Amino acid sequence: MRRIRKFARYSNQPETEVELLLYFCLKMQDITPSIFKNKTLTNIYNKQIESAQKKTKKLHEDLQYEYNLHIEDLKH
């Protein structure tokens, strides 16, 4: 997660951090055994989803719509 922030800072693009957070969450879902059986990993996952939502609110409306669709997919 520190690396996500670090790479986002270097890109100077606000949508980069959202993209990286969403990718991180997507990859966490693929981990076997499931992260949702572990409370700590589930909390990390949920925090990253919340962080992506907050970062998305600062973007352009079109990007907000697209990213919110991805976030909703990750929540289910």
- Domain containing residue 6: 2-75
Q: Convert the pLDDT of each residue in 4-28 to its tens digit.
A: 777 777 888 888 889 999 999 999 9
Please state the domain count of the chain. 1
Structure tokens at 62: 């079109």
Peptide bond into 33 cis (omega under 30): yes
Give pTM, 2 decimals: 0.84
Tell me, what's the pLDDT at 15?
87
Tell me, what's the pLDDT at 3?
78
